[in-house]
Amino acid sequence: MRRLLTSRHPGPGATPVWRCARVAAAAGGGVLLYLSFPPYTTWWLALPAFALLGPVLWGRGARSGFGYGFLFGMGFLLPLLSWTSIYVGPVPWVALTVAESAFIGLAAAGMSVVSRLPGAPLWTAAVWVAGEALRGRVPFGGLPWGRVGFGQPDGPLLPIAAIGGEPLLSYAAVLAGLAAGELVRRLVVHRSPVKGNPAMPALAVAAALAAGPLAGLVPPTPGTPQRTITVAAIQGNVPRLGLDFNAQRRAVLDNHVKVTRQLADEVAAGTRPQPDIVIWPENSSDINPLRNPDAAAAIDSAARAVGAPVLVGTVLSNPDATTTNSSLVWEAGTGPVARNDKRRVQPFGEYIPWRGFFRLFSSYVDRGGNFVDGTGSGAVDMAGVRVGDVICWEVAFDDLVADSIDAGATLLAVPSNNATFGLSDMTYQQLAMSRVRAVEHDRPVVVATTSGVSAMIAPDGTVTQRTGQFEPGILVDQPTLKDTTTLATRWRSAPEWVLVALSVGAVVVGVVVRRRGRRGRKDEHG
């Protein structure tokens, strides 16, 4: 480990005290990045997090950068992903954290390589985004959880999401932090080869922080006139927490029927407006209503009482013994009139890759599902409204949300089931993602969960209504539907790929420059 965390050419600052300081700064920076994420509102801690990481990586070799980046990742992801351990124990949680921290270590290795190039913060921030792009795609479809931009819904940088999506939002936040760290390094460290000139990093900090307010001045492309609708979200709650919550599937369904009937009574009493559409959560009817007449009758009675079509989250069986996580648009007296299947199911939850291998680490793999990815556009029609149906963790994936918008969605629904993870940060982290998506695509978002937090989100990312956790709840809002087009919607993943290309180019240049430097030093010493 000592060899991993030290430079091949140590020079000044290679004493044990300095090594310990760098280790503490790397791990501490990761903890600060965690604290910048919801449920905390200290979004600004992302800046000192990277301000600590940047100087630690400056001038280091790739192997040292990997080690420090790995420590940064552990400090960040170990608390961020702690909700994964609540009911399955610490081994899967720690294993996941180690694997994901290795990706951060890889990004930090690249950041170290480019750290001495002119304008280094510009390139190191791009390398970080490239690392997030990789981590969000591999293995098993990737884990985009914990991308830096998802921790910024309360910060002034949020409008950048409408320009370049989450990747550009991440880039701006990371750039501001790295440039701040470089500014401090140049002001404090007298042996800087840039002769201590603080102008460039100071300008980069100012530009990154100004990018958010400036992005807010860029209007989306106008669409056709749209109407205002009344939408309701139902949170029926679950009978108990944990992995066994769905053992009482009928109770979960009955809870959502009961709360929907309560909404119908309030509409009849004139205390709530009549909804045009109603959104139920993921897994609100894990009893297949296409095969179970009692479940179908219960759902139909709720739709009839409330007088609106209901988007019902259910689990459907396939002829090959696999299952799909699906949403059905249920109309009273007619039944399901539209269906959308979850297009990217969750590894180690909805299905278990390499089941035999992972059984060696946890017996819980045998409780994993046998779900398969669905196909389709990710949008359904409800009472003349095109609703983007982004089921639970799909909200973390840029392409899936963009596909729903491209399919004509003027409203985004995020039906989720967070009961599996108990009273944890997970639901707040997911809510933050929905807020970023609202800004990214200029759409109102409805988050409906079995156990909370359910929410109504305006296109500017503001949470206008929300429920508590593990209690029944009803939300009713009247958003104005939009079919405007933001630059992020139009460009999709192009900004991310531009940043990835810049990072690859910078790493290549950094490697060439370092090799030439070593060759020059050898020639000097004969």
The DSSP-derived string for 225-244 is ---B--EEEEE---SS-STT
Cα distance between residue 524 and residue 502, in whole Å: 33
Torsion sign across C-alpha atoms 49, 50, 52, 57: positive
Residue 526 confidence (pLDDT) above 60: no
Element (H, E) at 122: helix 120-135
Residues 208 and 113 reside in one and the same domain: yes
Residues 477 and 515 reside in one and the same domain: no
CATH classification at residue 293: 3.60.110.10
What is the chain's mean pLDDT, rounded?
91
Q: Does 93 map to a domain? A: yes
Residues 208 and 284 reside in one and the same domain: no
Q: Tokens 């459907």 map to which residue?
A: 316
Residues 184 and 330 reside in one and the same domain: no
Average pLDDT over residues 25-51: 97
Residues 455 and 503 reside in one and the same domain: no
Q: 58-67, 214-223, 343-352: lowest mean pLDDT where?
A: 343-352
Q: Does 7 map to a domain? A: no
Residue 1 confidence (pLDDT) above 70: no
Tell me what pLDDT residue 226 has: 82
Residues 185 and 80 reside in one and the same domain: yes
Residues 480 and 495 reside in one and the same domain: no
Average pLDDT over residues 461-473: 96
CA of 495: how far to CAs of 213, 328, 440, 486, in Å? 19, 34, 13, 13
Phi and psi, residue 64, nearest 5° = -65, -40
CA of 347: how far to CAs of 271, 275, 315, 354, in Å? 43, 36, 17, 10
Tell me what pLDDT residue 387 has: 98
Average pLDDT over residues 34-55: 97
In the chain, the percentage of residues whose pLDDT exceeds 90 is 76
Q: Does 497 map to a domain? A: yes
pTM score: 0.92
Q: Across-strand partners of 446?
A: 413, 456
Catalytic residue IDs: 282, 342, 392
> What would you report as the CA-atom Rg of the chain, rounded to the nearest whole angstrom?
25
Helix 426-441 vs helix 161-188: crossing angle, to nearest 10: 110
Local structure of 88: helix, strand or coil: coil
Per-residue confidence at 131, pLDDT binned at 50, 70, 90?
very high
Residues 337 and 245 reside in one and the same domain: yes
- How many independent structural domains does the chain possess? 2
Average pLDDT over residues 250-258: 94
Q: Does 445 map to a domain? A: yes
Q: Does 5 map to a domain? A: no
Amino acid at 140: F
Cα distance between residue 50 and residue 32, in whole Å: 9
Query: In sequence order, which residues have a C-beta less than 8 Å from that of residue 11 and are 6 or more positions away?
Result: none
Residue pair 71/19 in contact by the 8 Å Cβ criterion: no
Residues 174 and 290 reside in one and the same domain: no
Residue 190 confidence (pLDDT) above 90: no
Q: Does 33 map to a domain? A: yes
Q: Does 173 map to a domain? A: yes
Instruction: Report the first-to-last Cα separation within the chain, whole angstroms.
Output: 33
Residue 36 confidence (pLDDT) above 50: yes
Residues 477 and 415 reside in one and the same domain: yes
Continuous H helices in 189-248:
199-215
Residue pair 77/131 in contact by the 8 Å Cβ criterion: no
Average pLDDT over residues 459-468: 97
Local structure of 54: helix, strand or coil: helix
Residue 194 confidence (pLDDT) above 70: no
Residue pair 459/436 in contact by the 8 Å Cβ criterion: no
**Closest alpha carbon to 441 in 150, 165, 229:** 165
Q: Tens of pLDDT along 428-447?
A: 999 999 999 999 999 999 99
Residues 149 and 245 reside in one and the same domain: no
Full residue range of the structural domain in which residue 338 is found? 231-342+377-484
CA of 40: how far to CAs of 44, 73, 350, 431, in Å? 11, 19, 29, 12
Q: Does 11 map to a domain? A: no
Q: Across-strand partners of 387?
A: 380, 411
Q: Tens of pLDDT along 292-310?
A: 999 999 999 999 999 999 9
Residues 191 and 138 reside in one and the same domain: yes
**Closest alpha carbon to 53 in 148, 137, 154:** 148
Cα distance between residue 433 and residue 78, in whole Å: 19
